[in-house]
Amino acid sequence: MSKIQAVPLGKRVIIQPHTEDETTSFGLVLSDANKEKPMKGTIIALSEESAKLGLTEGNIVLFKKYSPTEFTIDNQDYYVLDTEDLLAKL
């Protein structure tokens, strides 16, 4: 799990998305255009308000498909999400 020096504001969390395998069972490599956005990830940073909801760093969560704001630091993709867009804690 990565650690970044960003702290989300409001009721938000920063998630490191879980990437799916890039090859099919037949060995075909999928292009970026054919891959779906991940809907599962690990919380790596959260605001104080998010912690009051029982969320902690390291929680694996499911989230709405089109809700994250994406950003990249050191070639690693991250998502910022409102806690309202989290669907479940796994």
CATH number of the domain encompassing residue 44: 2.30.33.40
pLDDT of res. 86? 96
Residue 5 belongs to some domain of the structure: no
pLDDT band at 5 (very low <50, low <70, confident <90, very high): confident
What's the pTM value of the predicted model, to 2 decimals?
0.80
Is residue 80 over pLDDT 90? yes
Residue 61 belongs to some domain of the structure: yes
By DSSP bridging, strand 76-82 and strand 12-17 are antiparallel
Measured distance CA(89)–CA(67) in Å, rounded? 16
CB atoms within 10 A of CB 85: 18
User: In whole angstroms, how large is the CA radius of gyration of the chain?
Assistant: 14
Alpha helix stretches (DSSP H) within 1-90: 48-51
Report pLDDT digits (tens) over 9-57.
999 999 999 876 666 677 777 666 555 677 999 999 999 999 999 999 9
Q: How many separate domains does the chain show?
A: 1
Which amino acid does the sequence have at 46?
L
